Amino acid sequence: MAMSWLPSASIEALLDELEMVANGNSWRAVRSALTFISTIVFQNLLTVQKPNISSRIQKILLVSLQNPQLEVREAAASCLSKLLQCGYLVLSSELTGHFLEMAAVKLHKTKGKVAVRNTDGKALVKRHAGVLGLAACIRAFPHTIPDAVPDILVALSRHAHDPPFILSTVKKTVADFKHTHRDTWELHKSRFTDEQLLILADLLISPNYFT
């Protein structure tokens, strides 16, 4: 069905089902639904342009980013990046602000290091959701640098001492950014302030990120 053109009413009905799946208990079903969503959008770009449809799709992705299962969160971030890259979803200040707020959720620390406790589970997931959302915003623009991207990269730099699965997201995002912008860096670096360039330089050469 996802590979066929669908009328608006059918897409609305599908979204009803996908919303139930996204809030369900089967993480494998949620992960499959996220792949289904991106296919539906690409095959029905004209139909899904309605604001009520795009807002529902974005909400499903935001909910899935906070799924307790890592694989679901990563699938949601991948889908979000694709929909931002094609222009279906918009990189708005509200969206980036939402991710920045989640990424700033506090974790317990002991002697400067994050100490993961059993009670930190929800906070860890929320913090990772924010980092994944920010990473998706960066990956959505592999050859350009929108106004929001420099600040997002600086925000990611604050997660150098986060738990391994969050730090892994930051490492991969920074490495991908370095690779996709290498050939045009002389043109793009003017998008950054001097302070941002110093932070970015530290990100790109720090052994903490590439070991």
pLDDT digits (tens, 9 = 90+) for 102-152: 999 988 765 555 544 544 689 999 999 999 999 999 999 999 999 999 999
Instruction: Take residue 143 and report the two structure tokens written for it.
Output: 């050859």
* Residue 30 DSSP SS3: helix
CA 190 to chain centre: 25
pLDDT digits (tens, 9 = 90+) for 92-102: 999 999 999 99
Does 166 score more than 60 pLDDT?
yes
One-character DSSP codes across 114-152: E---GGGHHHHHHHHHHHHHHHHHHHT-SS---TTHHHH
> How many Cβ atoms sit within 10 Å of the Cβ of residue 125?
19
Residues 6+ apart with CB under 8 A from 43: 2, 3, 4, 5, 6
**pLDDT recorded at residue 210:** 40
**pLDDT recorded at residue 58:** 97
* Mean pLDDT value across residues 143-171: 92
Calculate the average pLDDT of the chain: 88
pLDDT class of 47 with cuts at 50, 70, 90: confident
- CA quadruple 53, 56, 61, 62: dihedral, nearest 10: 140
**pLDDT recorded at residue 204:** 73
**pLDDT recorded at residue 211:** 41
* Mean pLDDT value across residues 35-47: 90
User: What kind and span of H or E run contains 113?
Assistant: strand 113-114
Q: What is the percent of the chain where pLDDT is above 70?
A: 89
Contact 28, 75 (CB under 8 A): no
Does 209 score more than 60 pLDDT?
no
Single pTM value for the model: 0.89
Q: Tell me the C-alpha to C-alpha distance, in Å, between residue 179 and each of 73, 139, 143.
A: 24, 11, 10
